[in-house]
Amino acid sequence: MQFSLFDSTFQDDEVLSGEPITLPLAEADVRYYSHAVDKEIADQFLTALKNELPWRQDAIKMFGKSINIPRLQSWHGDEECVYTYSNLTMQPQPWTTTLKTLKARCEQLSGSSFNSVLANWYRDGNDSMSFHADDEPELGINPVIASVTLGEARPFVFKHKETKATYTQPLAHGSILIMAGATQSHYLHGIAKTKKPIGGRINLTFRQLLTAP
């Protein structure tokens, strides 16, 4: 799929992303770009990802029972990027043009390189993400995670592991949230269910997976 506005729009960082908001989280380094992707392009990306990715509903085992994850997901990356979380092992699907384009935008804003991405499709308010930290050994110490939101804005909640203090940041359509430093060591994060009638949201979390040489 071709994005005719991509090159000209993404070059103008001052108009697009502006200065990021640094979230007031102790022992963390989190920056939020509310307009990292132009709305018209973000709309195109959302449609493309819905159609391009091989979405699936995986299941994890909890208390000896198999439970469907409350969202659709798709794992993509370099060939060696096999990823395991919650005892679920995923083999990487190939990069698409859309994913490569958004990866480049995240690398531009974060100053980091990424070799993989987890795509989550929250179809409505019944889909959610339980509190967790992106602290698997494969991600290394103090990983940089870049999170792209396309579609319906949902409240993204941080909870400090020790103090239990919470902070909520709504993530808007076309926004990018960058979590770095010791964020994953000190905080959990998640997306709660809601009974409000809301539209779908696709979230992409780009990361650098440590792989064998």
Domains of the chain: 18-55+67-207 (2.60.120.590)
pLDDT digits (tens, 9 = 90+) for 87-107: 788 999 999 999 999 999 999
Residue 166 has pLDDT above 60, yes or no: yes
- Concatenating the DSSP letter of every residue in 17-63 gives T-SPEEP--TT-EEEEETTSS-HHHHHHHHHHHHHHS--B--EEEET
User: What would the pLDDT profile of 128-153 be if each residue is shown by its tens digit?
Assistant: 999 999 999 999 999 999 999 999 99
What is the dihedral angle through the alpha carbons of 143, 125, 121, 189, rounded to the nearest 10 degrees?
10
pLDDT at 2 over 50: no
pTM: 0.89
